[in-house]
Chain A
Amino acid sequence: MYITPVKQEDLANNMAEEVKLFKTWSTPFGLRVVWALKLKGIEYESIDEDLSNKSALLLQYNPVYKKVPVLVHNGKPVSESLVILEYIDETWNQNPLLPEDPFERARQRFWAKFNEEKLLPTIMAIFTKEGKDREEAMAAWVENLKFVEEELKGKKFFGSEKIGLADLVFGWMANLIGIFEEVTGLKIVDERYPLLLAWMQEFYEHPVIKDTWPPHDKMIIKWQALYENYHPAK
């Protein structure tokens, strides 16, 4: 079993709860929250925003950043995906995303931060830049991946034996790396990173995760259009 079954009393509690998730059809940050809710068997209402025309509700719930995702639990909003993930984990205790041990919690939080501050900006630089700037971004990416590969040694997931918070944060790689490689023609995660490639496959196919991916062809169209924006044909 990948997950323990949700108990009846937890289901009953869920029915008294109102959980809404503001996101878009494609945002990887929103997808992290979908995964957390699914792993815990939490019922929620999904609201897909059009970011070029943000709803009044979204602006009211996230006045500081005006971004998705926002989780609204019984009318109270939580913004920023990492904050939302920890909130979900602390509010619904089934299938914990973080273990009890403080050192292990610190470890997963460290890697979540690493993804946000190192991997994401670097992959965006690879996607958007050209020439020497892209080469520099690629070099930084390679350095970063070495650390990630090292961290997976002796582990099935970033969470160790089972999916944890860090896996949800790295999860974007499982579908977006392939999409970026298709759109850019670049090899972004190659055979130098066998553990990472294996993890990406495992995560992609995980029974709770596999039906959540946004449609592949729709994603290609979206990212192709963005790529052409940054690299107009001369």
Chain B
Amino acid sequence: MEGAVVLLDFWPSMFGMRTRIALAEKGIKYEYKEEDLRNKSELLLQMNPVHKKIPVLIHNGKPVCESLIQVQYIDEVWNDRAPLLPSDPYKRAIARFWADFIDKKIYDQGSKVWKTKGEEQETAKKEFIESLKLLEGELGDKAYFGGENLGFVDVALVPFYSWFYAYEKCGNFSIEAECPKLIAWAMRCMQKESVAKSLPDREKIYEFILHMKKIFGIE
């Protein structure tokens, strides 16, 4: 179980944030290495030759790639504390289904919100809110998607909360107005040290997006 843990990451990445949260929930000490994505390190290219992407979790010298796979790996190795997936197979299937939904929808739809304008942006906002509303439905009256405590779906989704402010500014809309229960959930998650420590400041994300818009020539 013990052994060196290294995380190759990039501070604004929602995917990296998921792994940071999982490591923090389990109280695992690790070395955080910030990657410059325009100048990827030898280590990154060696540890993730297929995708050359962050985050990469390196445990005892062996790489695990893809954020949700990393979160499951962490849950399975450090299985004596803070379980992220429930023990019941059906509940696990439901958790995996919604984490997969988040992967399929939220990143691309959110990206379209800040990258596009006009008609395209309106469509992007509409689809994005629809997805969030489906997630709100799944949350229901629970404190967390995981029930009483943070679970797999919470870890998969809450990093996007750090990007909501930037989406709202770029899209000129309020996510809270459309999805108040989801925002309440996000703020509840932010009360947890593991989440608060792992998410960057929303103003910094907004600055980052403005910078990206300049680079990509998006108005």
Residues in A lying within 8 Å of B, measured CB to CB: 64, 73, 76, 78-80, 82-84, 86-87, 90-91, 102-103, 105-106, 109-110, 113-114, 147
Contact = CB atoms under 8 A, between A and B. Distances in A.
B73 A64 contact: no
Contacts of A78: 90, 93, 97
B72 A109 contact: yes
Given A82-B100, A103-B59, 10 more contacts: A78-B93, A82-B96, A83-B97, A86-B93, A87-B90, A87-B92, A87-B93, A106-B64, A109-B66, A109-B69
- How big is chain B's contact interface, by range? 20 to 34
A105 B89 contact: no
A111 to B, nearest CB: 9
B102 to A, nearest CB: 12
Contacts of B73: 102-103, 105-106
B50 interface: yes
Chain B binding surface, main DSSP class: helix
B97 A91 contact: no
B100 A147 contact: no
Main SS class of interface, A: helix
Interface of B: 49-50, 59, 62, 64-66, 69-70, 72-73, 76-77, 89-90, 92-93, 96-97, 100-101, 134
Contact of B89 (A82, A90, A147): A90
Most buried by B among A79, A83, A114: A83
Contacts of B72: 105-106, 109
Contact of B69 (A79, A83, A110): A110
A82 B92 CA distance: 12
A64 B137 CA distance: 11
B69 A113 contact: yes
17 contacts: A64-B101, A76-B90, A78-B90, A83-B100, A84-B93, A86-B93, A87-B89, A87-B92, A90-B92, A105-B72, A105-B73, A105-B76, A106-B64, A106-B72, A109-B66, A110-B65, A110-B66
B100 A102 contact: no
B77 A79 contact: no
A79 B100 CA distance: 11
B126 to A, nearest CB: 17
A64 B134 contact: yes
B64 A103 contact: yes
Contacts of A83: 93, 96-97, 100
